[in-house]
Amino acid sequence: MNAPATSAARPVPVPQVLSGLEPGPFHDRLAALNHQQAWMNWMGYASPSVLDTVEFEYFAIRNQSTLFDISPMCKYAIAGPDAEAVVNRLVTRDIRKLKPGRVAYCIWCDEDGQVVDDGTVFRYGPNEFRLCCQEPQLSWLEDIAWGYEVTIRDVSREIAGLALQGPTSCALLRDLGLDGIESLKPFGIGSFDIAGVALSVSRTGFTGDLGYELWMAPEGALAVWDALMAAGRLRGLRVIGYEALDMARIEAGFLLPKIDFLSAQTVLRADRAVTPYELGLDWLVALDKPHFNGRRALLELSRKPPRRKLVAIEIERDKPAHNALVYHRKSREVGMVTSALWSPTCKRNIAYAWLDAPYGQTANDHLWVEIYLQKEIRWQRRMARCHPVEKPFFTHPRRTATPPAEY
């Protein structure tokens, strides 16, 4: 089990390969534990992709508890008398139904009904919101808010964040004295304190498991980290990188921008943008609410089947279908795989794939993926049968149990 670095530890610089990137609020602790020295660029921060081994980190998510630095996420504070109206105009869900102290997963679209991004909306009060997302959205938000009495601020560097995920995460927080944390419902927000540092804690995450996200001022970040690591010795706490998290999010049915779909703001080819209906996110579109961006186009699109669809598929045998093409009757190309994984927990070969209509909608038979395997520097081609399935692949009662069981 990883021991916490002390507050007196010598600062560890960002490796030369990532020169120009900003060390995040937890960088000194992460660098001391990053035995692989495997880093990636996440919104200008040096973020670990793997610290020890992907296998250890993945199984810690499903059997213990894990820490992942989510400080690089884009975060925007939206406040003022018209804050609700602005957020409701931005996203496709009806934000009027979101009560203070709650979080909602949302998407937002351009005027053609094409998805710009997805993220989470935190409602802290009647006129106070925070939007968390993967891509920069400040200019888009300012356009949406034109003419409204509202203030929008980019607070990405003002808030440090940690994702604490796994079966023992609630017990660990109780060990730290967070009284009442066991009563926090999924997508709820609570105010707590760790090591004298004020926290906003949400029961949210990207793993599909029991878990929480902890938000704090950067100046208190290391004190919170050290307290978590000390308490986590008895709860199997392990620090993880992006690669293990990516495995868990595929199992949990979460989509990732730039991997499973592209933002309508960044595509170079018009046909690469996608709609909520193509992503299978119809349930996030409230056409009966007042006007929002893209509503007219989405209303028209809702009247006809999507031209293509991102679907969950299960594949025969055990070789992941990374970047594979999908064929009908082994001859006609009808789609492509975006994310793929042999799931260690589900013991299934799973993936997400874009399929042209009618495949994946009304025609689901005789679908095959073309997998290439490298064995001792020689490539082998394998055709494996697949079929669409319901997502998520991984579900467990502990994700929503309130209070969570003792682990």
Question: In degrees to the nearest 10, what's the CA dihedral of 53, 46, 258, 346?
Answer: 20
Is 211 within 8 Å of 205 (Cβ atoms)?
yes
Burial of 397 (0-12, 13-18, 19+ CB in 10 A): exposed
Cα dihedral across residues 274, 279, 284, 286: positive or negative: positive
pLDDT digits (tens, 9 = 90+) for 346-395: 999 999 999 999 999 999 999 999 999 988 889 999 999 999 999 999 99
Q: Which domains does the chain have, with CATH numbers?
A: 16-70+157-252 (3.30.1360.120), 74-152 (3.30.70.1400), 308-394 (2.40.30.110)
- End-to-end, the C-alpha distance of the chain in Å comes to 17
- Is residue 333 marked as binding? no
8 A C-beta contact, residue 87 and residue 95: yes
Kind and range of the H or E run holding 314: strand 308-315
Per-residue pLDDT tens for 274-312? 999 999 999 999 999 999 999 999 999 999 999 999 999
Neighbours of 300 (CB within 10 A): 10
Residue whose pair of structure tokens reads 């949210």 in the numeric block: 204
- Both structure tokens of 122: 């935190």
pTM: 0.92
Q: If you count them, how many residues does the chain have?
A: 407
Distances in whole angstroms, Cα of residue 305 to Cα of each of 281, 315, 357: 14, 25, 8
Question: Between β-strands 237-239 and 65-69, what pairing exists: parallel, antiparallel or unpaired?
Answer: parallel
Residue 395's CB is within 10 A of a number of other CB atoms, namely: 14
Paired strand residues for 352: 312, 339
Residue 235 near residue 171 (C-beta atoms within 8 A) = yes
DSSP string over 118-177? EEEEEEEETTEEEEEESS--HHHHHHHTTTSS-EEEE-TTT-EEEEEESTTHHHHHHHTT
Sheet holding 160-165, edge to edge: 189-194, 197-202, 211-216, 160-165, 65-69, 237-239
What is residue 19's predicted lDDT score, i.e. its pLDDT? 65
Residues linked to residue 190 through DSSP beta bridges, in sequence order: 201
Cα–Cα distance measured from residue 113 to residue 340, given in angstroms and rounded to the nearest whole number? 27
Write down the pLDDT at residue 283.
97
Query: Structure tokens of 296?
Result: 């007219």
Q: Which amino acid is at 305?
A: P
Residue type, 271: D
pLDDT digits (tens, 9 = 90+) for 144-196: 999 999 999 999 999 999 999 999 999 999 999 999 999 999 999 999 999 99
Q: Is the peptide bond before 358 cis (omega within 30 degrees of 0)?
A: yes
Residue 15: what pLDDT? 53
| Mean per-residue pLDDT, 110-116 | 96
Mean pLDDT over each residue of the chain, to the nearest integer: 94
- Residue 258, pLDDT > 60, answer yes
